[in-house]
Structure 1
């Protein structure tokens, strides 16, 4: 371990210990800001984010583009394609949550619908006290009954919330403004805080009737604009092609610290296009997309040459990003018998040539991802040692022996010789698993059936991501194909786990992993349609380590447990890791003002931007249609 890394870990441990001592000292006392890592940089006197412009003007239109289509305004069920502006987890543009996760600090939340919360020293429950000013767009107050009802319907209908709040047994309204949540276990340090992520839904609206007198049903898709509580409401929509959101002028929380200087656009318009190429053409012409987070390295490097860029009417800018990087990967569906042998999955990993793709397609922009917790102190490195080794020793007979003796390394394709060696290694693993080459085809030694893989994607760009990988698989004799489907079909197939390998999927982590790990990796989630356990992981050791992460006693314990979980996931080869960037590449039409300092934890806070009316008017005149 380097001196610098030792200092970082030591400092993190001290901060976490300090935070734990504060939590113990103030147990069962009301608090406003919650944190899992250490005290917020704002202390107890949070007035506003330090990067925002508190005098940012309101007005103008933000135009955005979405790929695909939509047929529902209910994001909390496993049915339908949800419209832009809604969120499967959190409130999106329409609903507020009990508290709001900070934009500029990891694992910190500030008040929103709830003005304060408390919990006992054994973490067996949590109580949230609602802000008396909180109200729905129809003027009715947000009540404890709304919170209780929301908790019940979300746990019943949303796989994501069900896993996230698995250990929350019930919610009880102890007054009009206070809700007490009870837990099935003690010592889960994360649960009191993450209940602040609960989105609050309007019970009286959902239990009422629509304009035709038909009773509403929260368990079904709907295209009736729901009643909300947040900064925006639906102004208009064209089913499947456009949705327009209008800022609520008397939004109840507009002057709360988390909202000052933010949510400045009067209108947000989302236009739908069939694919990325169509949305790109729309962006270059103006009027459809004002801000574009660019995901394609090749486009970023060579295609921003259209007239508006040359005239400085479209600006390219890179924003630093300091939050943990997601595990982006080809996801192997282990529910398929073909992929249940770990040697087969390992062989697929050895057949993937990242280095050539990065050099020839990505302009050397990316770094290979080699951890499920990429970035920071949570990623496993070297050989297990210390507390991590103690944890893993408990499961030694159920783990690959190499996990204890060999540092996990992904194959590197840096020379022609290494390419041959990696493909030879892949073939040897497949042969051990019962596959042999006959006449250039990889077939099962017993049945003679050819090895076939279908990659599933939802954008023509996925062909660029999958094609080089498939070429190597074909060299091994595998019949590798790619199927591109529309967004609705892709959503339905991934929810039902109907695929061999996903061409691209991403799993975002935080600085303080916890209950969400169940939805990512647990055996129970593997059998739950709509969960994020896309790989179908059913592993008793993984289940145990997920619980170990959730019940970590302090930062040191959390880091060790997360290292152990990371290492077990890696050595089981459930996914073929792809790459990460570590910054946000953004291009935008020059109609905005924004704080030059953006929160590096999320990269860009678009809510802190505003429209410059003079620039917007000039662009509209010059390009005829740019709003």
Structure 2
């Protein structure tokens, strides 16, 4: 999986908190390359092949290159002046301000303790970086070149000698080693459970050279970016402050990025400022980026309050995630009508996020697929999309929606070859070999209540599972009522959940919505104290070992991504086929098979996605004419127009 996959798919990090995604720095996650353990591969690219001498302990030919990719050539050669999609002459200055929902009490998103602040990794960089227009490549950022043999037994990074931390101290290989070990020793359990045993050794050869040697168990496609994707923090800062990776923090970790914390007021506001002494300002990967002097985040209790604040000019850029507000909220907005605010869409070429309700499979009630299927039938997406979403969304029908990785139709011969052994072992029903890929049920859109046929089918499934209605109409089994509690924190989601609950209650399910504050919501998800919650499955173009965090049995007891507590031997045996894929055809086949099996298990009730960014902003920002396919990048390669800002101030629109 490439880092373009998702803003939320870092295996060293807990998963996203809440239904409405908090403000995220889109491109900063792209630059975190293998924080996702994802960009990996064994294809020799745009590099020079040399022979290692005996003194280096290697006879094999070695590739020396500025970039690395799994599949095909990298887009940018060693001497590229800047990324194609940026404006290299973009002016520096001004402020962009955004909103975030809920609360925060920490600047450490790598810990299970506390609720992390928005953009808390904005100052982090790794050895390798991604771009927003090259889906499978990783480029040297903190290094000049990397070296590796054909079998990828090891990789050596030749680090730049001009990289400094935000306090001006130089970054060295010792900092890289310290940071890497920090994640292995103090990273979240699910991450360590997956990657332990991947590294045979790490050696600092000199202040600017470091070599990672891999074990045979380390996935081939993921080795280089596993080593090169870890954020690099200041060893001296950690030692001086006594900070731990697994504890909350009242400040971001010191790193090498373009932005540092300026000020904050807990649960109200955060301001990050551009470091005027940023070492990488003239780096080809950074030219035309990090253009704003300050990035301000304003916190609100819910999206409606945030929207009203946006209309009042309290912040100036809004990535809209409410279909109701997008369709109706701007109708009587004078600043939009007068041309002071721009409301528009941009294409989103990334894999769609499979937003869904998920069951807690640790609870016995939800271990019966018949019960899960019946519950899923009561969510009327068609009515919701027409009545609530104004037709803006598409139904999630895959864990890779809107992409070629989504399984369709009946399995190909290559897919059958992967699935047949699992059928023979009794891990899958034989029907999966010939049936169409599972699709969510389709309801009549004329009303919220599912059609009679759907109700009858759901009732039959529940009766077959032993649930019978009592005199009060409530379903019971062995004297136990069929209870379902949907845990949520965002009031704006009530209008979506409540109609679903009404349908469940009509079916005889004792369903209710329990809305809690942000901190409780985070803890309830972590502890598995729910029947159902919303979850976003953020996959990418190149899935790999990170799939274990989402779906493997070994992560079910303690995972920020496997919230449903999935334990499936069939899934466990398919994930290695994805990890081992050597080319795009093999990868696509393995992912299709996995997608087909995951959908057949039915642990989620699919919600929706849209293949566009919907944004509104005060007309004081500019963006490149040719936007890249894999990022909106408004905090990275957009810029501030001072003359336009002055005009807004003169018109009384902004202060």
Normalising by the residue count of structure 1, what TM-score does the alignment of the two structures yield?
0.90
1:295 CA displacement: 0.9
1:613 alignment counterpart: 642
2:368 alignment counterpart: 341
Q: What SS does the corresponding residue of 1:461 show, helix, strand or coil?
A: helix
User: Aligned pair in 2 of structure 1 residues 347, 63: CA closer, same or farther (>3 Å)?
Assistant: same
Alignment of 1:82-481 (within 5 A): 82-86=116-120, 92-159=121-188, 161-162=191-192, 165-166=195-196, 168-169=198-199, 170-184=201-215, 185=217, 188-209=220-241, 215-224=242-251, 226-286=253-313, 288-305=314-331, 306-396=333-423, 397-407=426-436, 408-414=438-444, 419-445=451-477, 447-481=478-512
Distance 2:650 2:308 in 1: 20
Q: CA deviation digits over 1:360-387, x for unaligned, max 9?
A: 1111111111111122321111111211
Q: CA deviation digits over 1:381-410, x for unaligned, max 9?
A: 111121111011110021133322321222
1:486 alignment counterpart: 517
Alignment of 1:573-588 (within 5 A): 573-588=602-617
Equivalent in 503, 508, 514 of residue 544 of structure 2: 514
Distance 1:224 1:384 in 2: 50
Q: What SS does the corresponding residue of 1:328 show, helix, strand or coil?
A: strand
Q: What SS does the corresponding residue of 1:200 show, helix, strand or coil?
A: coil
RMSD: 2.3
Contact 1:332 1:575 in 2 (8 A): yes
Distance 1:493 1:415 in 2: 33
Contact 1:163 1:519 in 2 (8 A): no
Contact 2:382 2:445 in 1 (8 A): no
User: Aligned pair in 2 of structure 1 residues 591, 577: CA closer, same or farther (>3 Å)?
Assistant: same
1:73 CA displacement: 1.7
Q: CA deviation digits over 1:53-87, x for unaligned, max 9?
A: 1011101111111111211122211111111221x
Contact 1:173 1:180 in 2 (8 A): yes
Q: What SS does the corresponding residue of 1:141 show, helix, strand or coil?
A: coil
Distance 2:580 2:625 in 1: 40
2:15 alignment counterpart: none
Q: What SS does the corresponding residue of 1:462 show, helix, strand or coil?
A: helix
Q: What SS does the corresponding residue of 2:491 show, helix, strand or coil?
A: coil
Distance 1:415 1:621 in 2: 48
User: Aligned pair in 2 of structure 1 residues 177, 165: CA closer, same or farther (>3 Å)?
Assistant: farther
1:145 CA displacement: 1.5
Contact 1:122 1:186 in 2 (8 A): no
User: Aligned pair in 2 of structure 1 residues 284, 191: CA closer, same or farther (>3 Å)?
Assistant: same
Distance 1:115 1:163 in 2: 32
1:203 CA displacement: 1.0
Contact 1:58 1:266 in 2 (8 A): yes
Equivalent in 84, 93, 110 of residue 59 of structure 1: 93
1:194 CA displacement: 4.1
Distance 1:573 1:309 in 2: 43
Contact 1:346 1:426 in 2 (8 A): yes
| Alignment partner of 1:74 is 2:100 | no
Q: What SS does the corresponding residue of 1:30 show, helix, strand or coil?
A: strand
Contact 2:374 2:461 in 1 (8 A): yes
User: Aligned pair in 2 of structure 1 residues 388, 341: CA closer, same or farther (>3 Å)?
Assistant: same
Contact 1:583 1:603 in 2 (8 A): no
Q: CA deviation digits over 1:218-275, x for unaligned, max 9?
A: 4321214543311011111112321111110110011112211011000111121111
Distance 2:356 2:88 in 1: 40
1:570 CA displacement: 0.3
Q: What SS does the corresponding residue of 1:398 show, helix, strand or coil?
A: coil
Contact 2:65 2:146 in 1 (8 A): yes
Distance 2:396 2:651 in 1: 43
1:620 CA displacement: 2.7
1:318 CA displacement: 0.5
User: Aligned pair in 2 of structure 1 residues 339, 544: CA closer, same or farther (>3 Å)?
Assistant: same
Equivalent in 66, 70, 74 of residue 36 of structure 1: 70
User: Aligned pair in 2 of structure 1 residues 183, 345: CA closer, same or farther (>3 Å)?
Assistant: farther
User: Aligned pair in 2 of structure 1 residues 441, 124: CA closer, same or farther (>3 Å)?
Assistant: farther
Equivalent in 575, 583, 588 of residue 546 of structure 1: 575
Q: What SS does the corresponding residue of 2:513 show, helix, strand or coil?
A: strand
Contact 1:323 1:510 in 2 (8 A): yes
Normalising by the residue count of structure 2, what TM-score does the alignment of the two structures yield?
0.87
Distance 2:194 2:451 in 1: 42
User: Aligned pair in 2 of structure 1 residues 42, 532: CA closer, same or farther (>3 Å)?
Assistant: same
Which runs of 5 or more residues in structure 1 are unaligned? 1-15, 87-91, 210-214
Q: Could you tell which deviates more after superposition, 593-602 or 289-298? A: 593-602
1:11 alignment counterpart: none
Which runs of 5 or more residues in structure 2 are unaligned? 1-38, 50-60
